[in-house]
Amino acid sequence: MPIISWRKAGPAAAAAALLVAFVVAPGPLAAIGSGGTRFDEAGVRSAFLGYWNSGDRQLSPELRDLVDYWLRYHVAKGLIAALLLAVFVLLAVRVHKAFLALAVLALVTVMANVQGAVAPFASLFPMLTDAPPPQLQQQLDAAAPVPAVAVMVDDFARYHVAMAVIAAVVAVALVALSVPLWRRSRAVTAGLLVLAVPMLVIAVANTGTAADPAPALAALFHGGW
């Protein structure tokens, strides 16, 4: 096969393999070192309810195992998505600019999984919305809430701080990358600057939520997030 064909076929094959890995690999990789912990939404709800009722600030062993699993899951997905990002950028350069859309999707996926890895407990909260903690709103408004609420609020704030920082870094990187490309391709430069705008919006929005996380946490559990 001619070299020029390999320059296109190689990255395309890598992208296909990574897409399969992105779907099937994170679960088994996250299970390594889990001690046989089974991860599913029912298990998360059960472990969380036990933690909520324990009155302790420290996560229960059962919930800690699930949170650690979820951390490894996000790390695995984030690493695979980062490889996909690199491959899609390469395909956009060598094959067609249409791959840039997939590169953007991979970038967003990397961002989300880094956020989940930074605050894995908070990233589990959407699994609990069908069975919210008892008296959550009252506890959020209470002067002395149960210890679990304080941990939830802190991790929820960390979750949004993470995305604020991630989005700001990406926005700065996009602007910095656009500067040397200005003379080579104004279309590419414009695309990078356009992409930087929503990143800045995301950074600002998450900064606001991190500054006052309790209302957003309550909204999440009451379907308004």
| Chain mean position to CA 18 | 18
Q: Which two tokens stand for residue 156?
A: 């929820």
| Chain mean position to CA 63 | 20
Out of 37-41, 146-150, 180-184, 219-223, least confident range: 180-184
Residue 126, domain member (yes or no): yes
Same domain, 21 and 125: yes
- How far the first Cα of the chain sits from its last, in Å, is 53
- pLDDT for residue 3: 47
Q: How confident is the model at residue 1 (pLDDT cuts 50, 70, 90)?
A: very low
Distance CA 116, CA 176 (A): 26
Q: How confident is the model at residue 7 (pLDDT cuts 50, 70, 90)?
A: low
Same domain, 96 and 163: no
Residue 46, domain member (yes or no): yes
- pLDDT for residue 6: 60
pLDDT digits (tens, 9 = 90+) for 180-193: 877 777 777 888 89
- pLDDT for residue 138: 79
Host domain of residue 14: 1-131
Same domain, 215 and 115: no
- pLDDT for residue 118: 98
Same domain, 174 and 73: no
Sign, CA torsion 223/106/158/131: positive
- pLDDT for residue 74: 98
Amino acid of residue 114? V
Q: Is the pLDDT of residue 224 over 60?
A: no
Same domain, 126 and 167: no
* Residue 21 vs residue 34, higher pLDDT: 21
Same domain, 6 and 96: yes
Q: Is the pLDDT of residue 198 over 50?
A: yes
Same domain, 111 and 159: no
pLDDT digits (tens, 9 = 90+) for 201-216: 999 999 999 999 989 9
Q: How confident is the model at residue 24 (pLDDT cuts 50, 70, 90)?
A: very high
Residue 153, domain member (yes or no): yes
Same domain, 160 and 95: no
pLDDT digits (tens, 9 = 90+) for 25-74: 999 999 987 766 678 899 999 999 999 988 899 999 999 999 999 999 99
Give this prediction's pTM.
0.89
Same domain, 85 and 158: no
Same domain, 101 and 162: no
- pLDDT for residue 223: 67
H helices present in the chain, as ranges:
3-24, 26-31, 41-54, 61-94, 99-118, 120-123, 136-141, 147-181, 186-211, 213-221
Residue 141, domain member (yes or no): no
pLDDT digits (tens, 9 = 90+) for 109-124: 999 999 999 999 999 9
Same domain, 38 and 122: yes
Q: What's the number of domains the chain is made of?
A: 2
Mean pLDDT of the chain: 89
